[in-house]
Amino acid sequence: MYKLSADLALVQTVDFLHHVDDPFTFGQIAATNALNDVYAMGGKPFTAMNIVCFPIKTMDKSVLRKYCAADCIKCAKPVSCLLGGHSVEDNEIKYGLP
């Protein structure tokens, strides 16, 4: 948390999880995990950015799209804007939202 004024603070977090069998379910779990981190610190989520490690050379991009679709659905009400994110190539899938 970063205190901006006497009654206002910025809550930032980043976390990612290891792959669950179903990409859509995994995306929802990752989004829920990230949102709960913010709520646990007394914050209210306004924006989010995702982080992904993905084997782009060996796995179809449609799998990655399912992760993103799931987190967009899960974040649609509490988060006003998904700003983007960061990706790296990795042999193991990891996905999360800060």
5 domain residue, yes or no: no
Share of the chain above pLDDT 70, in %: 92
Q: Where are the extended beta strands (E) located within the chain?
A: 2-5, 8-10, 16-18, 47-54, 81-89, 94-96
Per-residue pLDDT of 47-93, as tens digits, reads 888 888 889 999 888 888 887 777 677 676 776 677 878 889 999 88
The SS3 assignment for 32 reads: helix
Query: What is the model's pTM?
Result: 0.70
Number of structural domains in the chain: 1
Contact 82, 50 (CB under 8 A): yes
| pLDDT of amino acid 89 | 94
- Domain assignment of residue 70, given as a range: 15-96
For the chain, what percentages of helix, strand and coil (3-state, to nearest 5) are there? 35, 30, 35
| pLDDT: which is higher, 98 or 51 | 51
3 domain residue, yes or no: no
Identify the top-confidence range among 8-17, 19-28, 63-72. Answer: 8-17
